[in-house]
Amino acid sequence: MTDSPLTQTQQIGDFFTVSESFPVNLEIVDNDFIVPDQFEFEDTMPELFKMASSMAGSDQDMLERLKMDNQQSPALIGLLDHMNQRMITMLGYLLRYEDDPNHRFEGTEFGGGGIRIISPHSFDFDQVVRAKLFFKAESLAIFCYLRCVASEPHEPSGSYKITFEFEQILEQDQEHLIRASLHSQSRHLKRRAQQRQQKTDENG
């Protein structure tokens, strides 16, 4: 189990996971499918996901550095921030069309090692799938290949909890996911602190 009291979810590989709902698109590949190596993977992944990967986090980090170095130019920083948000919004709008309802599953946990989903049917152990992961709170979309490492009944719904490890993913996207999992933990902590404060106010 993870050390976090917030999520109490089981690790995937060497990475902790956090509980958060997110849409996932999965397509089962043929049994004789050979997962592309890193170079072929980068060459063949959809362009929108390349853009999403290159934009995720980097522009925000640059803006934070600019804010620290140029505290006397709030108007310029505001303009750059506004332009960055417009670009993220536009990319998010385009990526919405990559979320195919015919291949959509409910993601429930994620981390640097993989994801877990709830599925109406089981997956075979070692089954490889082509995947698209969407994280609205992080303005993040990831294209990757996953391999099923566990499939177990999810009571009482009659569905299945499926664990996938990353079979092929951009290194920078894996870093984005690790950062996103830390952000998710921070949101959980903040929410719990607010709930405790609210109870204190109500009882005070």
Tell me, what's the pLDDT at 87? 64
Question: Rounded to a whole number, what is the distance in angstroms from the first to the last CA of the chain?
Answer: 36
Give the separation between CA 83 and CA 53, rounded to whole angstroms: 18
State both tokens at 167.
């079979």
Instruction: Note whether residue 60 is domain-resident.
Output: no
Give the separation between CA 88 and CA 109, rounded to whole angstroms: 24
Indicate the SS3 state at residue 108.
Answer: strand
Residue 143's beta-bridge partner residues? 132
Instruction: Note whether residue 167 is domain-resident.
Output: yes
CB 122 within 8 A of CB 151: yes
Q: Which domain holds residue 23?
A: 17-30+39-46+101-203
Q: What is the pTM of this model?
A: 0.80
Instruction: Note whether residue 126 is domain-resident.
Output: yes
In 10 A of CB 134, how many CB atoms?
A: 21
Tell me, what's the pLDDT at 132? 96
Write out the chain's pLDDT in tens, 204 residues.
334 434 457 899 889 899 999 999 999 999 899 999 999 999 999 998 998 888 775 555 565 666 666 565 666 666 666 566 666 666 676 788 889 999 999 999 999 999 999 999 999 999 999 999 998 878 789 999 999 999 999 987 889 999 999 999 999 999 999 988 888 888 777 777 777 777 777 776
Burial class of residue 114 in the structure, from the number of CB atoms within 10 Å of its CB (0-12 exposed, 13-18 middle, 19+ buried): buried
Give the separation between CA 104 and CA 131, rounded to whole angstroms: 10
Question: pLDDT tens digits for 45-76?
Answer: 999 899 888 877 555 556 566 666 656 566 66
CATH number at residue 122: 2.40.10.220
Question: pLDDT tens digits for 71-86?
Answer: 656 666 666 665 666 6
Phi (first) and psi of residue 16, to 5 degrees: -75, 160
State both tokens at 5.
């009291």
Overall domain count for the chain: 1
Element (H, E) at 28: strand 17-28
Query: DSSP letter string over 110-171?
Result: EETTEEEEEESS---TT-EEEEEEEEGGGTEEEEEEEEEEEEEEETTTTEEEEEEEEEE--H
